Amino acid sequence: MKNNSRLFRFSIFVCKLFRIIYGHILSNVFKLCIQSTLIYIQNVKIIFSRFIKTQSLKIIHNLQIPAESLTFTVNYIFYSKDEGIMTSSRFVITVIGGDKVGIVAGITSIMARFNVNIVDISQTTMQDLFTMIMLAEIKDRDFDLSAFQKAMGDEGHRLGVEVKVQHEDAFRFMHRI
């Protein structure tokens, strides 16, 4: 766990934590005030939480959580302030469709093939549809975006879900000033 300038200290905010599964179910539905810090686990930068309302102040860190078990909802995506407009190479990948086995495996294998790093991942439902949202980072300078979009689209088609790869600014501009 790091706490340098890139990692913000966030103000306390309210977040719905649905389930946490790590070996055992830690709790049922929480409505907690949490203060988040960031930790890195297997290249997945996950927002983690410090529980305020529970008896003891828990900070869970240094956990080797396999990606498959990340079934809790990560509610916020973070940016560092120094990333100017249009200069970031981060993309929001949304996967929407009927839930079935192998969606995450299929999608992430394509991403691995294109050397696309997952910065953040979350899962929720929209109108009863399985919805996975990933914030991904592309480091290669000569990255072929259209080929990646096509491969992701084809994989989505195979899995029966709709996959969109959009630059993060599409969301940042609409919802933030």
Partner 1 sequence: MLIHPEEILETIQMLKMEHLDIRTVTMGINLLDCSHPDVNILNKNIYNKITTYARDLVKTTEDVQNLYGIPIINKRISVTPIAVVAGSCKTPDLVSIAKTMDKAAEAVGVDFIGGFGALVHKGFTKADLKLINSIPEALACTNKVCSSVNVATTKAGINMDAVALLGRIIKETAELTRKADGIGCAKLVVFANAPEDNPFMAGAFHGIGEPDCVINVGVSGPGVVNAAVRELENPDLGEIAETIKKTAFKITRMGEMVGREVSRRMDVDFGVIDLSLAPTPAIGDSVAAILEAMGLERCGTHGTTAALALLNDAVKKGGSMASSSVGGLSGAFIPISEDAGIIRAVEDGSLSLEKLEAMTSVCSVGLDMVAVPGDTLASTISAIIADEMAIGMVNKKTTAVRIIPVPGKDVGDHVEFGGLLGSAPVMQVNPFSSKNFIGRGGRIPASIQALTN
92 makes contact with partner 1 (CB under 8 A): yes
Angle at 18 between CA 17 and CA 24, to 5 degrees: 105
Neighbours of 53 (CB within 10 A): 10
114 makes contact with partner 1 (CB under 8 A): no
How many residues touch partner 1 under the rule CB under 8 A: the total is 33
Q: Which of 22, 35, 50, 169 binds partner 1 (CB under 8 A)?
A: 169
Question: What token pair was written down for 98?
Answer: 């009927």
- Least distance from partner 1 to the Cβ atom of residue 157, Å: 16
CB nearer partner 1, residue 49 or residue 131: 131
* Nearest C-alpha neighbor of 94 from the set 122, 68, 75: 122
155 makes contact with partner 1 (CB under 8 A): no
Window contacting partner 1 (CB under 8 A); options: 24-32, 61-69, 77-85, 109-117: 77-85
The CA dihedral of 25, 79, 41, 54, to the nearest 10 degrees, is -30
Largest CA distance in the chain: 51
Residue 147: enclosing H or E segment and its boundaries?
A: helix 145-159
In the sheet that holds 44-51, the strands lie side by side as 13-17, 30-41, 44-51
168 makes contact with partner 1 (CB under 8 A): yes
Window contacting partner 1 (CB under 8 A); options: 24-32, 48-56, 109-117, 125-133: 125-133
Question: How far apart are the C-alpha atoms of 91 and 17, rounded to whole Å?
Answer: 25
175 makes contact with partner 1 (CB under 8 A): yes
Window contacting partner 1 (CB under 8 A); options: 27-35, 51-59, 60-68, 75-83: 75-83
CB nearer partner 1, residue 117 or residue 124: 124
**Rule CB under 8 A: which residues touch partner 1?**
73, 75-79, 81, 86, 92, 94, 96, 122, 124, 126, 131, 133, 145-146, 149, 162, 164-176
